[in-house]
Structure 1
Amino acid sequence: MDRAARTRTGLMPPPKPGVDDPRVHVSLASLRALEYRARQITFTSKQQAHSALNGRHGSRIRGRGLDFLELRDYLPSDDVRAIDWKVTARTGKPHVRVFTEERDRPTLIVVDQRMSMFFGSVLNMKSVTAAEAAAITAFRVLDQGDRVGGIIFGDTRIAELRPRRNRAALDQFLIALSRANQDLHAQATTSSPLAFNDVLRAVQRIAKRDHLVIILSDFAEVDDTTRVLMSGLTRRNDVVLGLVTDPTARALPDSTQFTASDGALQAELDLTDAPTRDALLRYSADRLKAIHNWQLEMRLSILPLTTAQDTLPQIQHLMGTR
C-alpha cells in the first residue's frame, strides 16, 4: 500500500453500530464525555508543584517561545537578568529587554493504536488508555488556546492531522481516534505492523520546531534508530512520552499458557516454565529501563500510565491536580 493511500484524515470507515465494552473499545461519545471531567489539567509550562512535568526529574515543559516587545529603562522591580548590557554600556543608563509570550504553541498528539496495544489484563486495554489520554489532552490544549493536531496510527494506516485552533479540528481528531480504536479486534487481518520509526519520521515532518509533542504508546518496538529520532525531536520541541503499560510487564500470572504473536506468526508460551518467565520479564524490564533513561539523556518527560486504573485520575495525579 503506497504512502498516499495510508495517509488520510480518517483511518477507517465508520465503526459498526452496537454496544461495546468501554474497557475494550472507546466510542466517539465516550471520548467527548471526557471534556468536562478534565478541566483542571494543564500542559503549559507553569506546572503545579507535584506535577511530573515541573522539572524535578530532569525534564520540563519549556512552554511557548518569547517575542521581543521593547527596550526600556531599568526599574527597581525588574529582573537583572533582563538587562541589555550592550545598550546599557552605550547609553550609560541601565536598559532591559521586554518580551511577551507567544500567543500559542502547536501541540501534536501521537497515538499508537496497533494490535500490540490491544491487550489488558486488569481493567482497560492499552489502546483504550492511550485513546482516553489523547482525548483528555486534546480538550485541554484547545481550551488553553493552543493549536492541536495529531498522528493516529494502526498496523496499516496512519492519519496525519496538522495542528489547528478550532473545534472542527478537535472533532476530526476524535473521530479518527475512535475509528482506529474500533478497528482493533481479535479477528483483525494479520499484517506486519507499521514501524514506529516511520511514525516518528512523520512527526518530524510536522513538528519541525517549537511544538509540544505527546506520544502515547507502549513503545514495544524501540531500537537505536528510535533513540536517534527521539533525540532529534527533543532538540527542537518539548516531548512528553505517555508510557502505557500493563501489570504483566512487571509480574506474570503464576500458571497459564500464553499465546504471543507478531502479526504474522504466533507461539504458545508456557508461563509455568521458570526460564521462560524470567526471559519475558527481563526483556520487558530492559525495554522500560531504556525508555526511562531517555528522560535524563534527552530531558524529555515521561508520564507512566497503567491499564489497571481509570485514565483520568491517573493523569490528574501525575499533573499534581487534587
Structure 2
Amino acid sequence: MISEKEILKKVLKIELCARFLAQQLFTGKYASSFKGRGIEFSEVRPYMPGDDVRSIDWNITARMNAPYIKEFTEERQLSVVFMLDIGASMHFGTSQKMKREYASEVASLLAWTSSRNGDKAGLILFSAGIEKYIPPRKGRFHIMRIIREMLYAEPSSRGSDIQGALEFASRVFRKKSIIFIFSDFFTMDDARKLRILSSKHDVIGLRVRDRAEIRLPASGMARIKDSVSARSCFADFSSYSSRKIFSERIDAEERMLDSLFNSAGSDLLKLTTDDDYVPPLLNLFRTRSRRR
C-alpha cells in the first residue's frame, strides 16, 4: 500500500508541473476561451461619440440634461468542475501512465489555470455511482486536495455510470459553470442527459484512451479483457476478417461519440496517454477563442 509520504510527493510533483504550465502557457488563453456567467451593471458615465445609443440611461439623461450611458462588465468568476471517471476501465495503461493518472494530470493543469484566473474548482469522482463530490472553492490546499483525490480515491465498484454522473451534476450546479468530463466514454450511448447539462453549463468532454485500445496488434493471437466484468478472451488478429471487424467497431464508436457531443453542442477533445496533452489543449483554447 502506498504511504502518505509517497502520496504527498506525487501530489506535490504534479502540482508543481501544473502550476508552471498554467503560468507559462495557459492563463491568458483560458481567460479568452470561457465566458463569464453573464453581464452585470458597472457604472453610469457621460455619453461619448461612438458609444452605443442603446446603452443610454434615459432617466439619468433627463435628470442631468445631458446624455449618460450605462456600462456593464462581464462577470468573470466561474465555478470550474472536474468530473473524473474512476471506473475499472480508467485503470488501464500500456505506456508509462494509466488513463486515470494521465487524466488527473490534465485536470490538475486546468485546475491551476482556472485558479490563476480567479475561478473556483470543484470535483466529482464517479464509477458506477458518485464516489466523491468536492464543492467548488479557491485556494492552493483545496486544489491539492482535488489532485490527491483524483489520483488515489478508491472506487467502490468497477463500473462506470456516466449518465448518472451527468444527472448528478445537473442537480447540484444551478449557476452556469465550466464542466470538464474525463473518461474513456466506453459506456456513453445516449446524449439526452448530456444535452440537459450542456443547456445550462459549458461542458467539455476529454476522452482519454491508451494507444493499445485504438491500435490493432501487429498479428497473431491477442488477449482481450473486459475491464468491468474482468472476463477475457483471445482474438486472432492474423485473420483479415478479425482485423476488419475490430477496426470497423473502433470507427463506429468514434463516430457515435462525436455525434453525441455534437448533438449536445459540447466540445470533445480526444487524448491518448502516450501523447503530450499541452498542444491539443492549446488548440482547444484557440478554437474556442475564435468562436467567441
| Identity across the alignment (%) | 22
When structure 1 is superposed on structure 2, of 249-258 and 238-247 the one drifting more is: 249-258
Distance 1:44 1:148 in 2: 14
Aligned pairs for 1:128-207 (under 5 A) are 128-154=101-127, 158-180=131-153, 183=154, 191-207=157-173
Structure-2 change in CA distance of 1:303 and 1:194 (3 Å): closer
Q: 1:109 to 1:245 in 2, by over 3 A?
A: same
Check whether the contact 1:246–1:307 (CA below 8 A) recurs between aligned residues.
yes
**Deviation of 1:87 (Å):** 4.3
1:106-149 deviation per Cα after TM superposition (whole angstroms, max 9, x unaligned): 11011122211122344532222211111111111111111111
Is the contact between residue 36 and residue 76 of structure 2 (CA under 8 Å) also seen in structure 1?
no
CA distance in 2, matches of 1:19, 1:116: 27
Query: TM-score of the superposition, structure 2-length normalised?
Result: 0.80
Q: What SS does the aligned partner of 1:33 have?
A: helix
> For the aligned residues, what is the CA RMSD?
3.2
Matched AA of 1:268:
C
Residue identity in the other structure for 2:200: R
Q: 1:306 aligns with which of 263, 272, 276?
A: 272
8 Å CA contact retained: 1:83, 1:94: no
Alignment correspondent of 1:242 = 206
What amino acid is aligned across from residue 2 of structure 2 in structure 1?
K
The corresponding residue for 2:254 is 288
Higher helix share: 2
The 1-side partners of 2:103 and 2:177 are apart by 20
Secondary structure at the counterpart of residue 105 of structure 2 = helix
The Cα shift of 1:154 comes to: 4.0
Give the structure 2 partner of residue 30 of structure 1.
13
Consecutive unaligned residues in structure 1, runs of 5 or more: 1-14, 21-25, 48-60
Tell me the amino acid that sits aligned with residue 182 of structure 2.
Answer: L
Alignment TM-score, normalising by the size of structure 1: 0.73
Change (3 A) 1:27 1:284: farther
In structure 2, the residue matched to 1:217 is 183
Distance 1:273 1:171, change over 3 A: same
Q: Quickly say closer, same or farther: Cα 1:161–1:118, change in 2 above 3 A.
A: same
Q: Distance in 2 between matches of 1:160 and 1:41?
A: 26
Count of residues in correspondence between the two structures: 276
Deviates more, 1:93-102 or 1:203-212: 93-102
CA-to-partner distance for each residue in 1:54-107, whole Å, 9 max, x for gaps? xxxxxxx333421123455542243x3x7148949x969876442122251111
Alpha-carbon offset, residue 161 of structure 1: 0.5
Change (3 A) 1:217 1:254: same
1:266 and 2:266 matched: no
Which amino acid letter does the alignment assign opposite residue 41 of structure 1? F
2:93 is the alignment partner of 1:120: yes
Secondary structure at the residue paired with 1:284?
helix
* Residue pair 1:149, 1:173 contacting (<8 A) in 2 also: yes
Deviation for aligned residue 1:290: 2.2
CA distance in 1, matches of 2:214, 2:2: 35
| Alignment CA distance shift 1:146-1:18 (3 Å) | closer
Question: Does the 8 A contact of 2:88 with 2:158 survive in 1?
Answer: no
Identify the residue that residue 41 of structure 1 maps to in structure 2. 26
Alpha carbons 2:56, 2:70 under 8 Å: kept? no
CA-to-aligned-CA distance 1:235-261 (integer Å, 9 cap, x gap): 111111112133344431122312222
